[in-house]
């Protein structure tokens, strides 16, 4: 049960505390139900007791995620959702009703609603789907959609070649993987550019390789050019130091073994090794490489 006096009129004035987002709020007061967090403008939201520590006190700052509970009240949590407003994610359907489906959002006791109107081809319980999370402009609730064209497109490209970006692996084709870039654009990673396995739904870092005249974004999991080699050479050197100065791989080692030991493609390993050899920091042995 919540403090009814604090909740009365909440929806009307909670302008600064937004659902579906992380926010840093201040403990304004302590009640039997938990901490009431404020944005400094008289707006409050409850952080229930299950997320509260005995050391929490008025004036402390709390980094929380805010969402609507089952009774349409704003509530805060220290749990980490699988996606926030403005993000795409691969989420599993856990239930279906006449009005839509509910997705595992990663929050205790709270699923994310996927209305029927936002589905494409229907969904099945237990299956995962790529969705985008947005704020409904009528209810202000966080809602999922599979109809992503409005939010994810390449109409106006906001990334540049060589830029480090975040990607979500969405689907596989014979030539590679279609991905969402920075939750805003579509891109492609070609299989001949991969140096490790990837999986649908994985969120990871990547680098923009090129942007074509027809607004296609090609990506790589590794940096390109000399900067990439320098970074990889530093990683290889650190790996040697952490393994008593020796590694059982060299120029003649099979690519699969090189990746198993170093996490690098054979090509990148050879370029990184070449840089370390040139700087005189390592030497090649019959069984691998070692620090000088």
Give me the residue label for tokens 């992503």.
Answer: 148
pLDDT for the residue numbered 133: 97
Together in a domain, 19 and 69: yes
In a 13 Å sphere around the CA of 255, the CA atoms on its Cβ side amount to 7
Q: How many helices (H) and strands (E) does the chain have?
A: 5, 18
Structure tokens at 232: 């990889």
* Residue 23: DSSP 8-state: E
Which neighbouring-strand residues pair with 57? none
pTM across the whole model:
0.73
| Domain containing residue 233 | 226-291
Within a domain: 17: yes
- The sign of the CA dihedral 18, 24, 26, 27 is positive
Q: How far apart are the first and last CA of the chain?
A: 67
Mean pLDDT of 164-185: 96
pLDDT class of 139 with cuts at 50, 70, 90: confident
Which domain CATH number covers 257? 1.10.10.10
- What are the pLDDT digits (tens) for 214-232? 999 999 887 766 667 788 8
Which neighbouring-strand residues pair with 22? 65
Together in a domain, 203 and 237: no
Together in a domain, 250 and 205: no
């Amino acid at each position: 049960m919540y403090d009814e006096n604090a909740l009365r009129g909440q929806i009307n004035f909670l302008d600064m505390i937004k659902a579906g987002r992380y926010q840093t709020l201040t403990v304004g007061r302590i009640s039997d139900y938990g901490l009431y967090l404020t944005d400094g403008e008289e707006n409050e939201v409850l952080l229930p007791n299950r997320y509260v520590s005995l050391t929490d006190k008025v004036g402390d700052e709390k980094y929380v995620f805010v969402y609507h509970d089952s009774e349409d009240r704003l509530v805060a949590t220290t749990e980490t959702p699988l996606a926030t407003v403005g993000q795409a994610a691969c989420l599993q359907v856990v239930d279906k009703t006449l009005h839509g489906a509910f997705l595992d959002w990663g929050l205790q006791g709270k699923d994310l609603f996927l209305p029927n109107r936002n589905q494409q081809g229907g969904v099945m319980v237990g299956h995962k789907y790529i969705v985008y999370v947005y704020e409904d402009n009528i209810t202000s609730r966080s809602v999922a959609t599979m109809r992503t064209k409005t939010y994810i497109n390449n109409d106006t490209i906001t990334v540049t070649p060589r830029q480090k970006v975040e990607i979500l692996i969405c689907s596989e084709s014979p030539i590679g993987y279609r991905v969402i870039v920075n939750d805003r654009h579509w891109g492609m990673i070609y299989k001949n550019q991969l140096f490790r396995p990837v999986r649908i739904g994985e969120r990871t870092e990547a680098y923009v390789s090129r942007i074509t005249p027809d607004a296609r974004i090609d990506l790589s999991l590794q940096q390109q050019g000399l900067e990439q080699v320098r970074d990889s050479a530093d990683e290889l050197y650190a790996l040697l130091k952490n393994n008593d100065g020796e590694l059982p791989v060299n120029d003649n080692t099979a690519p699969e073994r090189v990746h198993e030991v170093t996490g690098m493609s054979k090509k990148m390993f050879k370029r990184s090794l070449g840089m370390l050899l040139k700087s005189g920091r390592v030497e090649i042995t019959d069984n691998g490489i070692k620090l000088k």
